[in-house]
Structure 1
């Protein structure tokens, strides 16, 4: 996460390209489908201690991608503060 904060333009490019690749005809569509699935699976392993790791991984992925989009749209969003606030609640035993 901290690495991404240092590479704002790269995150912006990734967010924009990912939005464009929603179209199945887009040349990068399969890349983004595989990348999101891989990230989801990694998150699921990370939160296997949760009651429903599959749902928790989906929530974490949705939060992360949504926060990235908000930060790209409005760089004044304090990414780290929002992330820390979320993490304080999310990463506690359920």
Structure 2
């Protein structure tokens, strides 16, 4: 720690502008989330983003090169935020159960969810600059869920008759579908509804749901 602190002090002359650049970049990304979330990629403009921040469109291009470059950076920023709350250290049925927490966290990130819903629809057009991103992302999410269901089968947590691919598609559809309903009607208790869905899923596919839930409760209490 001492060496790091000394190095930081030695570079104090560049620290201010460097930190200011990081803050400006983050401000641009967060504002772009708002604009693209509200108007979509095609409807949102660099001028709208720049006006909200109080800079020129040229300043945005200085950081990201083009509107397409900004979109890629926004999607990567959103992806990073999602990965932080996904909980990839968990496996099997525990990973599936932890998706309740992901939904609860997403309910505090309305701007990002609006952006995702808007751009994922636009990006069904193969010519859209985000098309490949969403193809890769949905494949990765599907493979992650499928792997969790497969490991739950291997561990004997769930019935051997379940189809991991089908369960994964249904879970993704439920997750995204509930979020769209929530965007349209914010009063919907989306977190509670999704938690109830997970409870029903566990009841349906596990060999001994009460025992598994009791173990989960004990684990949760021990971590508090």
Q: TM-score, length-normalised on structure 1?
A: 0.91
Deviations 1:8-66 (A, max 9, x none): 11111111111111111111011001100100011111222252111101111111111
**Counterpart for residue 9 of structure 2:** none
**Counterpart for residue 126 of structure 2:** 24
| 1:15 maps to which of 109, 113, 117 | 117
| 2:171 maps to which of 60, 63, 79 | 60
**Across the two proteins, how many residue pairs are aligned to each other?**
94
Question: For the residues of structure 2 that align with 1:9 and 1:35, how far apart are their CA atoms?
Answer: 19
**Counterpart for residue 4 of structure 1:** 106
| 1:73 maps to which of 184, 187, 201 | 184
Which consecutive unaligned segments of at least 5 residues does structure 2 have? 1-101, 208-224
Larger Rg: 2
Shift of 1:91: 2.1
Q: Which of 46-55 and 4-13 deviates more? A: 46-55
| 2:147 maps to which of 28, 45, 52 | 45
Moved over 6 A (4+): none
Question: For the residues of structure 2 that align with 1:74 and 1:21, how far apart are their CA atoms?
Answer: 24
Which consecutive unaligned segments of at least 5 residues does structure 1 have? none
- SS of the equivalent of 1:6 reads coil
**Counterpart for residue 137 of structure 2:** 35
Question: For the residues of structure 1 that align with 2:196 and 2:187, how far apart are their CA atoms?
Answer: 17
- SS of the equivalent of 2:128 reads coil
Question: For the residues of structure 2 that align with 1:86 and 1:43, how far apart are their CA atoms?
Answer: 16
